[in-house]
Amino acid sequence: MLAAFLGFAGCVIKTFSRVFFITPLFVLGGAHYLSVFGAEQLQALALLFLKVNDRGAAMALVFFGFYALLTGYLIIRSTFLPRILGALGMFGGLGWLSFLYLPLGHILFPYVVALALLGAGALIAWLLVFGVNEQRWKEQASAAMGK
């Protein structure tokens, strides 16, 4: 449940921050009611909105980092999927947590994206090709029912 909440929170924050990504189009669009501002003021306001979007996206990545750490841990603890998939997910999550310190996150971003895409892509491919170990799933479900 915690992993689902963290993933959802990251999605909400990222979606909300995208409002600030679109806003500069309206600010610099030349609407009549903006004529009270000078060109430099409008450009500064547009840049401010882009920076707010950047900070919001970074906050969302931190939530995704905690989500990836938790789901990676759950995959490692489970017997349904190979542990290497969980380890790759956890490494990607640690990478996203580099956005707790924004300058470090921006420096490491290309490497973190590559690692996170490798982990997510491997998990997706494994689930599409092999799925979960159904026998272990049923064994654990029947053991849980017997308790």
Q: Identify the pLDDT of residue 147.
A: 63
**Average confidence (pLDDT) per 10 residues, the chain, 147 residues:** 95 95 92 92 96 95 96 90 94 95 95 94 94 82 78
Q: Identify the pLDDT of residue 144.
A: 78
Q: What are the Cα distances from residue 45, in Å, to 31, 58, 143?
A: 14, 20, 60
Q: Identify the pLDDT of residue 140.
A: 80
Domain ranges of the chain: 2-146
Distance in angstroms (rounded) separating the CA atoms of residues 72 and 52: 30
Distance in angstroms (rounded) separating the CA atoms of residues 115 and 97: 13
Q: Identify the pLDDT of residue 139.
A: 82
Q: Which two tokens stand for residue 123?
A: 């998990």
Q: Which two tokens stand for residue 66?
A: 């905690």
